[in-house]
């Protein structure tokens, strides 16, 4: 039988190494890409193994599952951070705001309104990323840069407890490198356009790249890769 826990530590080392090599090859600054370990569908002891190996940033896509695991993990691990990366229903925002430091999957203004409301109740500020829909086969994210543009143009008037930090996308699930790259370039262009227009915000975060495509994402400017399978193995749904 494979020793899974051993595997997680080794996988993390391999991924960190590959990230560093991609950063160097792309002539980017050292440490300019963060690693998020996507722990959805993996148990607490797998996450704890990753923490013990030095991993601090985690991503989950379902609030209830995230809460069950992280309210326990937060008790004994002070430096860990959780981001939400999955489609978020309004009735889950309360716990999302409570347990996450960043909601990466903001895809509609209604969601921002609910996040603001919960932040006021909980007396808290939270980071968000705007998710942009850049691939045919996924459904999530804003459909156009214009929608995000409109929101940013009046952001301060409505969302004083929310800090916009950048953008997130998912590339298509395909072997076609050109299509994957196109998706990442679309996100980077959106960032450059909006950062230039709204320079009162730091919108520099580009959350893009997963187990299968993170090296391409780094070449195209990713600042945060979200990796599940290559760290924890296949998910048991």
Ligand X SMILES: *Cc1c(COP(=O)(O)O)cnc(C)c1O
| Residues forming the site for ligand X (CB under 6 A) | 38, 40, 61, 85-86, 170, 210-212, 226-230
Taking the complex as a whole, how short is the minimal distance between the CB of residue 213 and ligand X, in angstroms? 8
Instruction: Quickly count: other Cβ atoms within 10 Å of residue 10's Cβ.
Output: 13
Taking the complex as a whole, how short is the minimal distance between the CB of residue 193 and ligand X, in angstroms? 23
Taking the complex as a whole, how short is the minimal distance between the CB of residue 156 and ligand X, in angstroms? 28
Six token digits for residue 61: 């896509």
Alpha-helical regions (H) of 123-219: 145-153, 155-158, 177-197, 214-219
Rounded to 5°, the CA angle 200-196-146 comes to 100
For ligand X, give the closer residue by CB, 81 or 198.
81
Q: Which helix (H) or strand (E) holds 232?
A: helix 229-232
For ligand X, give the closer residue by CB, 26 or 140.
140
Taking the complex as a whole, how short is the minimal distance between the CB of residue 27 and ligand X, in angstroms? 25
Six token digits for residue 156: 């301060």
For ligand X, give the closer residue by CB, 82 or 230.
230
DSSP class of 142: B
For ligand X, give the closer residue by CB, 61 or 222.
61
What is the number of the residue whose Cβ is closest to ligand X?
A: 228
Pick from 141, 96, 134, 86: which is nearest to 117 by CA?
96
Taking the complex as a whole, how short is the minimal distance between the CB of residue 210 and ligand X, in angstroms? 4
Instruction: Quickly count: other Cβ atoms within 10 Å of residue 158's Cβ.
Output: 12
For ligand X, give the closer residue by CB, 112 or 210.
210
DSSP 3-state assignment of 221?
A: coil
């Amino acid at each position: 039988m494979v020793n899974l826990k051993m595997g997680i530590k080794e996988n993390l080392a391999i991924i960190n190494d590959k990230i560093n090599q991609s950063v160097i090859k792309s002539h980017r600054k050292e440490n300019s890409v963060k690693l998020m370990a996507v722990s959805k569908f993996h148990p607490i002891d797998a996450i704890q193994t990753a923490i013990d190996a030095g991993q601090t940033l985690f991503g989950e896509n379902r609030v209830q599952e995230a809460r069950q695991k992280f309210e326990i993990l937060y008790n004994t691990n002070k430096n860990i951070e959780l981001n939400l990366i999955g489609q978020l229903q309004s009735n889950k925002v309360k716990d999302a705001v409570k347990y996450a430091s960043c909601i990466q999957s903001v895809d509609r203004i209604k969601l921002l309104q609910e996040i603001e409301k919960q932040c006021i109740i909980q007396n808290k500020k939270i980071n968000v990323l705007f998710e942009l829909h850049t691939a045919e086969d996924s459904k999530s994210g804003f459909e156009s840069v214009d929608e995000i543009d409109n929101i940013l143009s009046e952001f301060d008037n409505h969302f004083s407890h929310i800090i916009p930090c950048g953008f997130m996308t998912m590339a298509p699930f395909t072997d076609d490198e050109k299509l994957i790259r196109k998706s990442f370039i679309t996100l980077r262009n959106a960032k450059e356009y909006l950062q230039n227009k709204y320079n009162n915000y730091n919108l520099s975060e580009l959350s893009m790249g997963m187990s299968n495509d993170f090296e391409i994402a780094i070449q195209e400017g990713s600042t945060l890769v979200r990796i599940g399978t290559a760290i924890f193995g296949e998910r048991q749904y």
